[in-house]
Each structure stands twice: as C-alpha cells, then as structure tokens.
Amino acid sequence: MASLPLRGTEASIYIIPEPDFSIDLDAPDAQWPDVEPPPEFFQVPVRKEQEGLKEEEEEEEEEEVNLDDIWAAAAVDFEQAERLARLSLRGDLYSHLPHSTVNWSIGGKHICRVEECPKYGVSFRILDGLKKHLNTQMHKELDRTLASRFITPPPEPQPEVPPPRPTKRPVSPSEFWEPRVRARLGTWLATEGILPDSEDGMDSEDDGNSVGGQVVEVAGS
C-alpha cells in the first residue's frame, strides 16, 4: 500500500493493489488481466491544530528582513572589535602617559594616538620610531601638564554659623541685689519681733534711722 502527500487541508490516500506475479507472461496463451477500476479515494480531514501551524509558518516566511539594520549592527560590532584589538596590541606603549587622551578608534599601525599632541595622527614607519616619539621629553611634559586637569579643587569655604542666641526668660529683682536692713549700733537685732520700748521713743524728731550713733546697713537673708 502506498500513499500520496497531503494536499490542502485533506489527506489523500490511495489504495493500490499488490501485483500478481503468478501469471507467466512468456507462455503463448498468456493473457493480460483486465484493467481494474481506478483506486478508491478517501478524504481524511486534518486537525485544526495542524492548520494553525501551517498558517504561522506562512506568516513567518512572509516577514521581511531589514538587511540595513543587520549590516549596521555588524559594523558597530566590527568597530568595537577593532578598538579592542588595537588596545591589546599597543596599549603598553601609552602606559607611561596616564593623563593623556588616547584615541583607539582611528586606523593605522604606528601612529600617535594622543589627541593633545601636535603630531596626533602622524604615522611612523616602524614600531621603534613610534616608541621613541612617545618617550620624548615633549610627551612627558605634556602629560604632566594634563595632570592638572585631574586635580580636585579645594572645597569652598563654608560661612560661619553664629551660635544660637539664648532664649529670654523673666527675671525677678532679687537676682540682681540683696535686701538690706538698717539698724543702730548697740541695739539688738531681730528679724522677727518688736524692738524694746526704750528704743521706741528715742529721737522722735529723727526719721528713726540714726540718733547720736552710727547707722549701719546689714545684708539680710
């Protein structure tokens, strides 16, 4: 039995009978068998899942590929690879010039890549010529001059902040002076009580502060 490939959304299956090898075609009375009718045709439906897969494959084939984007991405990768290759091959020649700007994107084998140098981009014939150029006193002084760009400036002076002013609070008069008591010499002082009667009538003309004797001021508690 043999089958033909699928066509469309249906599977075509043909039933082909096996040949009959019992007939001797060399015999004089041999006869060809009668022609058989065409094989039967059966239609086998294909699942919808397979139809969906076929449609997705057709859509993917129809998508156009933008070659310009592919070439642009490849060019960027190639330029980056070139820069890395130059750095790995000639990076040690510029190790003594840490403050100089070295451009690895320009092409050339033996060229000066220091952008601040007057001979930037000049090509030397041999590698030894480039080494001598990079080790000249001019390149070293140029690198020391460029080092000033990397010195951090001193911090700016900050304005002085005045100390906070004390808060005001009410003050009683007793904090500034002490109360004083006036008394005569030779008299008995008492913070509490009444003076003797003999002292009441003395010097009535006086204001009571001094009579015939000294008056002193005694600080009270």
Is 6:46 a contact under the CB 8 Å cutoff?
yes
**In the predicted model, is pLDDT for residue 193 greater than 80?**
no
Q: List all residues 6 or more positions away from 105 whose beta carbon is below 8 Å from its beta carbon.
A: 79, 82, 83
Span 102-152, pLDDT tens digits: 999 888 888 999 999 999 999 998 999 999 999 999 999 999 888 877 666
150 or 221, which is more confident: 150
Indicate if the pLDDT at residue 206 is higher than 50.
no
pTM (2 d.p.): 0.38
User: Greater confidence, 156 or 39?
Assistant: 156
Strand partners, 215: 184
Integer Cα distance of 50 and 28 in angstroms: 55
The three-class DSSP label of residue 213 is: coil
Q: Please state whether beta strands 10-14 and 180-184 pair in parallel, antiparallel, or not at all (unpaired).
A: unpaired
* Residue 112 burial by Cβ neighbours in a 10 Å radius (0-12, 13-18, 19+): buried
Contact 104, 86 (CB under 8 A): yes
- Choose from 3-7, 66-70, 73-77, 137-141 the range with maximum mean pLDDT: 137-141
Distance CA 82, CA 110 (A): 15
Q: Are 131 and 96 in contact (CB under 8 A)?
A: no
Average pLDDT, the chain: 69
More confidently predicted of 89 and 210: 89
Q: Which of 50-64, 101-115, 189-203 has the lowest mean pLDDT?
A: 189-203
pLDDT at position 79: 82
pLDDT at site 62: 56
Which pair of tokens denotes residue 174?
């007793």
**Do residues 139 and 127 touch, judged by C-beta distance below 8 A?**
no
**Largest pairwise CA distance in the chain:** 194
Interatomic CA distance for residues 83 and 129, integer angstroms: 22
Q: What's phi and psi for 111, nearest 5 deg? A: -120, 155
Domain ranges of the chain: 10-62, 91-149
pLDDT for 44 = 60
Task: Pick the closest to residue 100 from 144, 143, 151, 148 (CA basis).
Answer: 143
Residue 113 identity (one-letter amino acid)? R
| pLDDT tens string 2-45 | 444 544 444 555 556 666 666 666 666 666 666 666 666 655 65
